[in-house]
């Protein structure tokens, strides 16, 4: 699996954290590759340059084919992804509040939802963009196409507010930051802060902090398969094994030990290379 991270154009940096280009060749086997994809604290815009993926949502048995471009809002439940033999895609990762600033809607309404980007940006725009992505012959060229599209949307982006900086601070502190101090950084009362978090990131700040911490632990396991769970828990600020296991059950749907066995059988890691 090849992946390349790009720092976005300066005009995009206050609401977009990164652009990630992925090119993975899955071994040609009889068995499909089904990879777990638990929640991350980062809202994303995905573009599938080859065939779209199929997703199994929590509580469902069938895998549903996704559109060629997908907006992923705040996630609380894990999904499972049926990865194509050639997985070539782009992921635009937003800063906290960034997707709200671009779309102008409450992210709480997008909770655990995937949405066809063509319904938001227009089918003609998306069709032209996908044609350009298929014609781009290098990762750098793919990045250029995505940046040009995002810059064309700048007139829709709402201003950066102190709460957006506060939530970015929470991500940078890996989920460990007193809520009262965050509210102060956001220039809001605690009640106002919690209400604005629901609007801008889709969930209460304490729940968001849990996902930030869990996501670091999960990504460490994907990236460093030989590190013990005890060390991962310590590195991610879990000082209580019970809370560590609880977060994995809540957000990955299984215990760490069960997840370890599942990941050991997979030829591809979807979140290990991710940067927040």
The reported pLDDT for the residue numbered 152 is 98
Please write down the HEC assignment for all residues of 195-211.
Answer: HHHHHHCCCCHHHHHHH
Q: Would residue 276 count as lying in a domain? A: no
93 and 214 part of one domain: no
User: Is there a single domain that holds both residue 68 and residue 124?
Assistant: yes
* pLDDT at site 27: 67
132 and 60, same structural domain? yes
**pLDDT < 70 regions, the chain:** 27, 29-30, 85
Place of tokens 């940046």: 147
Query: Which tokens hold the place of 154?
Result: 């700048």
Distances (CA, A) of 156 to 25, 37, 73, 149, 151: 36, 30, 18, 12, 10
Does 237 lie in the same domain as 177? no
Rg (CA), the chain: 18
CB neighbour class for 125 (10 Å; exposed up to 12, middle 13-18, buried from 19): middle
Print the domain residue range for 78: 2-156
Quote the pLDDT of residue 83.
81
C-alpha distance from residue 135 to each of 5, 51, 204 (Å): 20, 15, 42
Give the pLDDT of residue 29: 64
């Amino acid at each position: 699996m090849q992946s390349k991270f790009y720092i976005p154009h300066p005009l995009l940096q206050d609401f977009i954290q990164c652009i990630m280009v992925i090119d993975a060749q899955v071994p040609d086997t009889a068995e499909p590759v089904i990879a777990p994809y638990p929640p991350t604290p980062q809202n994303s815009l995905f573009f599938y340059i080859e065939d779209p993926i199929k997703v199994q949502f929590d509580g469902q048995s069938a895998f549903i084919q996704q559109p060629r471009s997908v907006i992923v809002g705040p996630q609380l439940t894990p999904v499972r992804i049926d990865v194509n033999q050639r997985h070539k895609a782009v992921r635009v990762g937003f800063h906290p509040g960034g997707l709200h600033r671009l779309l102008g809607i409450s992210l709480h309404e997008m909770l655990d939802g995937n949405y066809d980007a063509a319904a938001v940006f227009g089918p003609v725009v998306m069709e032209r963009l996908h044609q350009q992505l298929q014609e781009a012959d290098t990762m750098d060229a793919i990045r250029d196409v995505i940046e040009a599209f995002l810059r064309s949307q700048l007139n829709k982006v709402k201003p950066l507010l102190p709460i957006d900086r506060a939530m970015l601070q929470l991500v940078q502190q890996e989920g460990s930051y007193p809520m009262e101090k965050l509210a102060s950084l956001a220039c809001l009362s605690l009640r106002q802060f919690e209400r604005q978090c629901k609007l801008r990131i889709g969930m209460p700040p304490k729940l968001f902090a849990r996902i930030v911490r869990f996501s670091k632990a999960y990504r460490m396991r994907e990236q460093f398969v030989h590190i013990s769970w005890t060390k991962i828990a310590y590195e991610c600020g879990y000082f209580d094994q019970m809370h560590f296991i609880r977060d994995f059950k809540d957000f990955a749907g299984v215990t760490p030990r069960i997840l370890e066995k599942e990941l050991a059988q997979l030829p591809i890691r979807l979140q290990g290379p991710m940067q927040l």
